């Protein structure tokens, strides 16, 4: 396989990369949801290594869970209880052996994603 998965998280409220944000990766197969790994972003808002490197890559449906609420609270953002955003799920399919980049733009009251490059 030659595909792989990466992400980049930007804190749009502060205008900075989201450092030390916890991310869980799951693979979905029908009703089965399998946790593959937990990673954290570095000072640049990226993971130190590919989330899913080529040797672990498989076509299919995946989900990234971004632990936004914990990150935002740690940054000192005023957060309501219950949190408006807590865990941000992004479910996506990888249908070809290529680079999949799933970025997240994050603030206490909004988020956005897209298929990056």
Q: Which CATH number does the domain housing residue 43 bear?
A: 2.60.40.180
- Count how many domains the chain has: 1
**Segment holding 68, helix H or strand E:** helix 68-74
Q: Which domain covers residue 73, as residue numbers?
A: 4-113
Instruction: Write out pLDDT tens, residues 67-99.
Output: 999 999 999 987 788 999 999 999 999 999 999
Check if the beta carbon of residue 59 is closer than 8 Å to that of residue 96.
yes
Main-chain phi, psi angles of 18, to 5 degrees: -90, 95
Instruction: Write out pLDDT tens, residues 17-44.
Output: 999 999 999 999 999 999 999 999 999 9
- Taking 3-state DSSP, the helix, strand and coil percentages for the chain, each rounded to the nearest 5, stand at 10, 50, 45
pTM: 0.95
């Amino acid at each position: 396989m030659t595909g792989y998965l990466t992400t980049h998280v930007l804190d749009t409220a502060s205008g900075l990369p989201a450092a030390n944000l916890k991310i869980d990766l799951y693979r979905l197969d029908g009703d089965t949801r399998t946790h593959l790994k937990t990673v954290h972003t570095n000072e640049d808002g990226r993971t130190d290594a590919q989330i899913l490197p080529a040797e672990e890559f498989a076509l299919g449906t995946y989900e990234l869970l971004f632990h936004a609420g914990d990150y935002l609270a740690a940054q000192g953002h005023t957060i309501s209880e219950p949190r408006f955003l807590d865990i941000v799920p992004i479910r996506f399919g990888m249908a070809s052996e290529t680079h999949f980049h799933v970025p997240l733009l994050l603030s206490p009251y909004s988020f956005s994603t897209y298929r990056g490059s």
